[in-house]
Amino acid sequence: MEVSVQTQSIDVYFKHIFGYIISNPIVLLFCLASFGISALLIPVIIKVCSKYKLYDTTGGRKIHSGNIPRLGGIGFVLAYSIVSLVYAFSVNEAFATIIPFVAAGFIIFVFGLLDDIFNLRAILKLAVQIVASLVIVFSGFYFRSIGAILLPDAVGITITILWIIGIINAFNLIDGMDGLCGGISCMIVFTLSVIYSLSATHAATMCLILACALIGFLLYNKPKAKIFMGDGGSQFLGFMIATLPLYRTTENFEYNKFFIMIVLVSIPLMDCIAAIWRRTREHRSIMSADRAHLHHKLLYLGLTVKQALSLVLLLQFCLCIISCIAMYLRGYNAVVLMLTALLFMTIIFSMIHFFYRKRLAEKGDKDF
């Protein structure tokens, strides 16, 4: 009976989001425009990168070979920004809630793009991330509660800033394999659009616009990728995924928001935490690169890029479904479900790490 109810709740969500799109032709138009601009820009960017030899580096933690353009983020960021701004100016009540996200996101992207080209210092990147976070929190978007615990404004703002910075860097680190960061991000923002379509229509539209822009990019980023998104693209996605949930919506989502977001981003977040622990344990800078991220381990265990990508995206899909189910549960039940999901992901990560270390020992390798 419980499984039947949960299945019905998922069915209701997806019927609602597609009903929302179909019943709002202007939203469908904006989504198509976002997809079209992104898909049309990427081939142009590939040609420009080839002309000026703006390729991603090889070796180190990189798993690709050959000259692959690395500025694909320009395509989906411009598509999202242009379409979102047009939407903001065409729908009066949407302007105040959309502009801070587009402006702060663009700040993150511009400096990420400069980092792709000039390799900026880590302290400068952190400063930019803090500034962009402040734009959001001082526009009134920050965590006000965690479950039933109401947070003082100073605490909520501090947690929000740390959250944004952490998620930006987590998505930057997970961007190491064809289609991985873009695929995970597309699933997350689409899930947010499903949740938001129940009440916060402007937020739902923003998520759909971003998802469609990413689909346009993924046409060229799926294995074998013709272009990468670069640090500008991955940092922008981390920023948007960290901040878009800060819109206020239904009481049930507000109660479960923090836990739902932890579940949705658990793959890049756990990978980031593991990287920090690994580098600290080995007395290396946490900013140093290595080849022991989740996707590296899966490849070392013998999976192909397509197989590794399919496995990670399947896990992400399960997390998205769990998050939608949690929206229909109340309080304690939702928290238990999400903690169970996090425990499951911890076990999955631990098993992959165990078999990875076992194979390293068998082959006499160090972290490859």
Q: Which residue has the higher pLDDT, 141 or 254?
A: 141
Summarised one tens digit per residue, pLDDT across range 286-300 is 878 888 899 999 999
pLDDT digits (tens, 9 = 90+) for 124-167: 999 999 999 999 999 999 999 998 899 999 999 999 999 999 99
pLDDT computed for residue 17 by the predictor: 74
Q: Average pLDDT in the 99-122 region?
A: 94
Peptide bond into 224 cis (omega under 30): yes
- In the structure, what pLDDT confidence band is assigned to residue 327 with cuts at 50, 70 and 90? confident
Q: 254 and 332 in contact (C-beta within 8 Å)?
A: no
Q: How is residue 238 written in tokens?
A: 């981390």
Contact between 213 and 80 under an 8 Å Cβ cutoff? The reply is: yes
pLDDT of residue 329: 77
Q: Report the C-alpha gap between 157 and 163 in whole angstroms.
A: 10
pLDDT of residue 293: 93
pLDDT of residue 74: 97
Q: How many CA atoms lie within 13 A of 86 on its CB side?
A: 13
Query: Per-residue pLDDT averaged across 223-251, rounded?
Result: 93
Tokens 């663009």 locate to: 106
What is the average per-residue pLDDT within 307-319? 97
Give percent above pLDDT 90 in the chain.
68
- Mean of the per-residue pLDDT values for the chain? 89
Q: pLDDT value at position 18?
A: 75
The rounded distance, in Å, linking the Cα atoms of 5 and 320 is: 17
Please give the full DSSP string across 111-153, using - where no structure is assigned. HHHHHHHH---HHHHHHHHHHHHHHHHTTT-S--EETTEEPPH
Asked if residue 36 has pLDDT above 80, the reply is yes
The answer, yes or no, to whether residue 3 has pLDDT greater than 50, is no
Radius of gyration of the chain (CA): 20
Task: Tell me which residue has tokens 């499951």.
Answer: 344
What is the mean pLDDT of the segment spanning 75-97? 91
pLDDT at residue 325 is higher than 60: yes
Say whether pLDDT at 99 is over 70. yes
Measured at the CA of 92, the angle between CA 191 and CA 141, to 5 degrees, comes to 50
Q: At what angle do helices 201-221 and 230-243 cross, to 10 degrees?
A: 150
**Residues 24-50, mean pLDDT to the nearest whole number:** 95
Do 341 and 322 touch, CB atoms closer than 8 A? yes
Q: Tell me which of 33-47, 148-162, 315-329 is least confident.
A: 315-329
Phi, psi of 69 (to 5 degrees): -55, 145
Residue 199 has pLDDT above 90, yes or no: no
- pLDDT for res 365: 76
Q: What DSSP line would sit under 290-323, residue for residue?
A: -S-SHHHHHHHTT--HHHHHHHHHHHHHHHHHHH
